[in-house]
Chain A
Amino acid sequence: MIRLDLNENPYSPPKEVIDEAKKGLSEVRRYCDPKYLEELRNLIEEYTKIPKDKIVVSPGSDIILREVIHEFSIDRKVIAVNPSFFPALECAKRHARKLVRFQLTPPEFRLNSEVLMQEIRDPSLIIIDNPNNPTGVEVLDRDLIIKILENTNSLLLVDEAYYEFSLKTSSGLINDFDNLAITRTLDKGFSLAGLRVGYLLAGEKFREGLSDFITFLPRPSVYAAITALKNRDYMRENVEKIIRERKRLMNELKELGIEAFPSSTNFILIRSDVVGLSGRLRSKGIAIKDLSREWIPGYYRISIGLPEENDLLLKSLKELLNKES
């Protein structure tokens, strides 16, 4: 099965990273030595330019996101957009005053900022992925982020899982606004999805609330992450290859007459009237993400694969479309 449904990186990490993960495995009877975690935080500090006392490392960004939701949703309104795939949003309702979702709709998938500003008059925790998964759109621009942050009643968590592809970040605002936090991951750009290493860049308000969050990562994950962060050129090359493929795939999809939406990530959102598209591609050995369970029917998300995988996808799509007409 060609997996184009989980936004994974189609390229392996460099050999040195695999070797370090193996080394970690050979030492698994031991907990990870704190000095390695310290080294990892130093490298994240160097990579993000955020002082390390504001960095919280986590086994995958999901875990720290969950922690943020549990800790900061109490007596607040939790605000998110649909579609998005945050864990524990549903559980937030237990402690939150209310859970409010903004439905993003085509063709612009725009967040109604006027309504948002009205909503955050109450104490709020806003959780938004930027760029948004699965639309690929930058839901928040810098002006809106600043407007939100100037309202001291609100806490804003921006998930930048696709930062390595979009190269847009709000991290520069962390030092000025204590109510901002950003999650990132090494899953996507750094090709480490299977090792689950994420981190949070935390403004002061978040840092205080998370002071008892204990980071305990597996040895193989820590070793691999350290080496990956030392090999950033390799990551960049992969990311550039993926972006080139994204542009090619985008053009070819459009040539096939498929509606494809602009993206600054490693995936593309498409719309198609072909009934059961994902099931039919699956029977040809290709998995894409059907979004109709949580969103408007007819929309699908395709992760960028290796060039030959993308070729196969295009070929299968062409066959399906010919059959339909």
Chain B
Amino acid sequence: MIRVGLIVNPIAGMGGSVGLKGTDGEAYKKAVELGAKPVSSIRVRDVFSLIRRKDILFFVAPGIMGEDYVKGTGFKYEIVGHVGEKTSAEDTKRIAKEMMEEKIDLLIFVGGDGTARDIADSIDLRIPVLAVPSGVKMFSSVFTLSPHAAANIIDSFNKETPLTEREVMDIDEDAFRENRLAARLYSYLRVPRIEPLLQASKEASSVGKSEEAQKREIADYIVENMENDFVYFLGPGTTVKAIADRIGVEKTLLGIDAVYNGRLIGKDLNEKGLLKIIDTYGKAEIIITPIGGNGFIFGRGSKQFTPKVLEKIGKENIIVVGTKAKVLKLECLRVDTGDADVDRMLSGPVKVVAGYKEEVIMEVRA
């Protein structure tokens, strides 16, 4: 029997049909006035109709946040927490924490980027999640592709299922409504890594080892090749964190840190801090990993690397790292720094360090 939590954001996705690009804050009221219909309930019912296994004990949020969809499906369930007449992001956060106390093995949530941020605030990397897409904005790479894919993952999930971290993005909704895309890496959630059914085949796979082992390999290779008297700016993400772990310094998971001769010389740096270090030390290299799914290296996950910083560093001093499980699935790497000249400078073929003594040559596109 596996213990699975379920939290549904009942208003996620309602802005889309009425052209609102999200239902954060006041936009929800407007969506309802414009006649928006609930989307999440359809999504979650689709998922339930496709689950084949029966050995699940559900822990569900009350009413329209969970209970309503599991009722009558034949699954055993317990209700967690309380909600008032109107539900809010605070309910999601509080109930997610309460579910953790119930020792759930997996938390299913239905919503968009906003819901993903609320869940990340409460549980960060402690419990694996299954994110069912229902929002308008889904720039985070935690989401499954569809209810069908979600049901497949639920059917095959167990306590030994390998997990991997995926990015949760924070999009500024007000800017987004004005057709500007202002995004930053907000946090990480851990999701089940379920590969397509392994087929009987003589064909060797290029992916091979587990993602964690690949990260360690990358870290070993990078650290062995680090030069003395050189500053390295370590970008966000768990692949780069593995490099910091290997050096033995603490890493700001979502921020940029600087190391010099194995010592930490700057933590969670912004543009000003980065420029100051470049001025002081003269030369620096950036170590960066692409965001899974969309392949962005600059312009989405690490806004602190501004066009000014990137110009000073130069393309030749950028080291891109990424596990094969991540980079071989990308069509290309992407940049969107907001400065067309810098984007052009960064474009073209680049080597990605993908393992120990292992590189993948990929195209960077603006």
Tell me whether A295 and B329 are in contact in the complex, defined as CB-CB below 8 angstroms, given that A93-B356, A101-B206 are known contacts: yes
Tell me whether A294 and B202 are in contact in the complex, defined as CB-CB below 8 angstroms, given that A82-B360, A278-B196 are known contacts: no
The reply to whether A89 and B206 form a contact with Cβ atoms under 8 Å apart is yes
Tell me whether A293 and B195 are in contact in the complex, defined as CB-CB below 8 angstroms, given that A85-B203, A103-B362, A276-B152 are known contacts: yes
Chain A positions within 8 Å of B204 at CB level: 85-90
User: Is B311 in the interface zone, CB < 8 Å from A?
Assistant: no
- Bits for B320-335, please: 1 = Cβ < 8 Å to A, else 0: 0000000111111000
- Across the interface, B196 reaches (CB within 8 A) one of A85, A106, A279, A296, namely A279
Q: How far is the CB of A185 from chain B (nearest CB, A)?
A: 12
The reply to whether A295 and B201 form a contact with Cβ atoms under 8 Å apart is no
Q: How far is the CB of A298 from chain B (nearest CB, A)?
A: 9
Nearest A residue (CB) for B152: A276
The complex places the Cα of A115 from the Cα of B362 at a distance, in Å, of 10
The reply to whether B196 and A100 form a contact with Cβ atoms under 8 Å apart is no
Interface with B: A145-153, A171-179, A233-241, A282-290, which one? A282-290
Q: How far is the CB of B315 from chain A (nearest CB, A)?
A: 14
Interface with A: B113-121, B141-149, B163-171, B273-281, which one? B141-149
The complex places the Cα of A282 from the Cα of B152 at a distance, in Å, of 14
User: Is B228 in the interface zone, CB < 8 Å from A?
Assistant: no
The reply to whether B363 and A62 form a contact with Cβ atoms under 8 Å apart is no
User: Is A52 in the interface zone, CB < 8 Å from B?
Assistant: no
The reply to whether A96 and B149 form a contact with Cβ atoms under 8 Å apart is no
Chain B positions within 8 Å of A88 at CB level: 204
- Bits for B135-160, please: 1 = Cβ < 8 Å to A, else 0: 00000000001101100100000000
Interface size on B, residues (CB 8 A): 36
Tell me whether A106 and B199 are in contact in the complex, defined as CB-CB below 8 angstroms, given that A112-B349, A112-B361, A275-B146 are known contacts: no
- Across the interface, B331 reaches (CB within 8 A) one of A87, A99, A296, namely A296
The reply to whether B148 and A275 form a contact with Cβ atoms under 8 Å apart is yes
Chain A positions within 8 Å of B207 at CB level: 293-294
User: Is B357 in the interface zone, CB < 8 Å from A?
Assistant: yes
User: Is A13 in the interface zone, CB < 8 Å from B?
Assistant: no
User: Is B197 in the interface zone, CB < 8 Å from A?
Assistant: yes
Nearest A residue (CB) for B358: A99
Chain A positions within 8 Å of B329 at CB level: 292, 295-297
Nearest A residue (CB) for B350: A115
- Bits for A24-37, please: 1 = Cβ < 8 Å to B, else 0: 00000000000000
The reply to whether B201 and A102 form a contact with Cβ atoms under 8 Å apart is no
The complex places the Cα of A290 from the Cα of B149 at a distance, in Å, of 14
Q: How far is the CB of A272 from chain B (nearest CB, A)?
A: 12
The reply to whether B357 and A97 form a contact with Cβ atoms under 8 Å apart is yes
The complex places the Cα of A89 from the Cα of B204 at a distance, in Å, of 9
The complex places the Cα of A297 from the Cα of B195 at a distance, in Å, of 11
User: Is A105 in the interface zone, CB < 8 Å from B?
Assistant: yes
Q: How far is the CB of B365 from chain A (nearest CB, A)?
A: 10
Interface residues of B (CB under 8 A from A): 145-146, 148-149, 152, 195-199, 201-208, 327-332, 349, 351, 354-363
Residue pairs across A and B with Cβ atoms less than 8 A apart, 10 shown, are: A62-B202, A85-B203, A90-B204, A93-B356, A101-B354, A103-B360, A275-B146, A282-B197, A289-B203, A294-B206
